[in-house]
Amino acid sequence: MSTQLQNLNSEFNSLLTQYKDTYQNYINALNTNNINLTTVPNTSFVGTSNINTLSNSTITSCKTACSTNTSCTGATFNSDLNTCILSNGTGSLISTNQSIAIVQEAIYYSYQLQQLNSKLININNQMMNNATQNESQYNQNQQQNTIQNESLNNNYYTLQQEKNQINEMIRQYETLNAAYNNGSIEVNSNYFNYVVLLLIVILLIFILIKLFIKRQR
């Protein structure tokens, strides 16, 4: 195995370990319905629509503003302009200089999985190209060469499958998150209606008591 291929293989294995750990963190965040906010440097959160834009903000106040607003699903803090943009709805992260995204941990881990998956595919492709270009060097041990190429092809296929699964899980998470938000709105509406009806009942009881007292006199 050439030195270049050895270095690529070491880098691939290191990234694969990060990928597995991040994948487990993503699953844990989904299973526990973790809504804690985390920051992602050099990225922006693009939601369905913007709720509000806060001037003269800090990263801490921006994070607090989003966490205390039930409609906020993510925010973007611009460190150059000191502005905070609160967003709602399902969204995604995009690479942006001078910006810090503030999102739920599940969205952060899904973004990390996409980044790692792309890097793994890129390195795997480099390893495949390297093996092809130096095929003559591996003819002395054809069996080892065949096994290695099969392993690289299997890695590529597995990574592509993982990429599709990640995208599907992200879509499912966005659907669940939207359903949760809609459910929260409905609960708040029902609670408000209950309070109004309770006040009306109390008022009617008070009126009936007064009428009863008047008739007694």
Residue 55, Cα to own-chain centre: how many angstroms?
26
Is 170 in contact with 110 (CB distance < 8 Å)? Answer: yes
What's the total number of domains in the chain?
1
Report the pLDDT value the prediction gives residue 75, as an integer from 0 to 100.
Answer: 96
Q: Is residue 214 part of a domain?
A: no
- Write down the H helix ranges in the chain: 3-31, 59-67, 105-133, 142-216
Burial of 213 (0-12, 13-18, 19+ CB in 10 A): exposed
Q: Is residue 182 part of a domain?
A: no
**In a 3-state reduction of DSSP, which class is residue 86?**
strand
Determine if the pTM surpasses 0.75.
Answer: no
Q: Is residue 186 part of a domain?
A: no
Number of CB atoms found within 10 A of residue 89's CB: 17
Q: Is residue 184 part of a domain?
A: no
Report the pLDDT value the prediction gives residue 187, as an integer from 0 to 100.
Answer: 45
Residue range(s) defining the domain that contains residue 161: 3-171
Report the pLDDT value the prediction gives residue 1, as an integer from 0 to 100.
Answer: 55
Domain with residue 50: its CATH number is 3.50.4.10
- What do you get for the CA distance between the two ends of the chain, in Å? 107
Is 43 in contact with 94 (CB distance < 8 Å)? Answer: yes
Is 149 in contact with 78 (CB distance < 8 Å)? Answer: no
Q: Is residue 193 part of a domain?
A: no
Q: Is residue 160 part of a domain?
A: yes
Report the pLDDT value the prediction gives residue 185, as an integer from 0 to 100.
Answer: 46
Q: Is residue 115 part of a domain?
A: yes
Low pLDDT (below 70) residues in the chain? 1-2, 134-146, 167, 169-217
CA 42/CA 77 separation, integer angstroms: 10
Is 17 in contact with 46 (CB distance < 8 Å)? Answer: no
Q: Is residue 104 part of a domain?
A: yes
Q: Indicate the pairing of strand 74-78 with strand 37-46.
A: unpaired
**In a 3-state reduction of DSSP, which class is residue 87?**
strand
H or E element, residue 74: strand 74-78
Is 87 in contact with 49 (CB distance < 8 Å)? Answer: yes
Report the pLDDT value the prediction gives residue 116, as an integer from 0 to 100.
Answer: 87
H or E element, residue 54: strand 49-54
CA 180/CA 178 separation, integer angstroms: 5
